Amino acid sequence: MGGGVNPARRWFLAYAAALVAASCVHLPALLAAALGIALVAAGRMRWQLLKRSLLALAVFNLSVSLGYTLVALWQQNFVAETLLLLNLRALLMVFLGFWLVSRIDLLALLAGWPTLSLCATLAIGQIRAYQRVLEEFRMAFASRNPQPPRLIDRARHAGTQGGALLDKSLTSAGEVALAMRSRGAFDA
């Protein structure tokens, strides 16, 4: 019987441990050091991952940081270290997340759990199909609007997209089940 944890799962467990550790550290210098180590260890992808992390955090962290700065200055208890702590921790955690995603295949992570693997495989395939469908809807709407659309038209369009996805998901579930049965997936 095979033993040990598969590499994807090892990476995931290491990642989860790193997240817990990062949330137990409250010194900006240590978090900065950890981020530095992660950047070095990430190899050639480091700057791309860092850029993605910064973009992912931009809106939320900027608003939180700005809000904290304004409130704290007004209350006369501004602590720069707090700002640094929040942002470094968030950046480290998000960076680790993107790094993990670049290193592992989700389906490898779920290997050994056939129901979850199957569910994930089907879901991912369908998500990609839905992304294409919604992109087509978006373009068709743009193409059909000589004037900026009214709120009610945008709402109707959103509703139509929801209906289309609902249709596809319900018919796909039935078809997939039939196809799986046809291929013996439900045979004992």
Interacting positions 70-129 with another protein (CB under 8 A): 71-72, 79, 81-82, 85-86, 89-94, 97-98, 100-102, 104, 106, 109, 115, 118-124, 126-127, 129
**Subset of residues 150 to 169 that bind another protein, contact rule: CB under 8 A:** 151, 153-167, 169
Among 23, 45, 66, 113, binds another protein (CB under 8 A): 23
Closest distance of CB 144 from another protein, Å: 6
Closest CA to 34 of 114, 91, 72, 105: 91
- Using alpha carbons, select from 42, 69, 64 the residue that is nearest to residue 53: 42
Member of 134, 183, 184, 188 binding another protein (CB under 8 A): 134
State yes or no: residue 48 binds another protein (CB under 8 A): no
* DSSP-derived 3-state class of residue 78: coil
CA 71 – CA 86 distance, rounded (Å): 16
Count of chain residues binding another protein (CB under 8 A): 91
Task: Count Cβ atoms within 10 A of the Cβ of residue 142 and give its class: 0-12 exposed, 13-18 middle, 19 or more buried.
Answer: exposed
Of the pair 32, 130, the CB lying nearest another protein is at: 130
DSSP state letter for 45: G
Question: For another protein, which residue of 1, 174, 183, 184 counts as binding (CB under 8 A)?
Answer: 174
User: Cβ distance 88 to 31 under 8 Å?
Assistant: yes
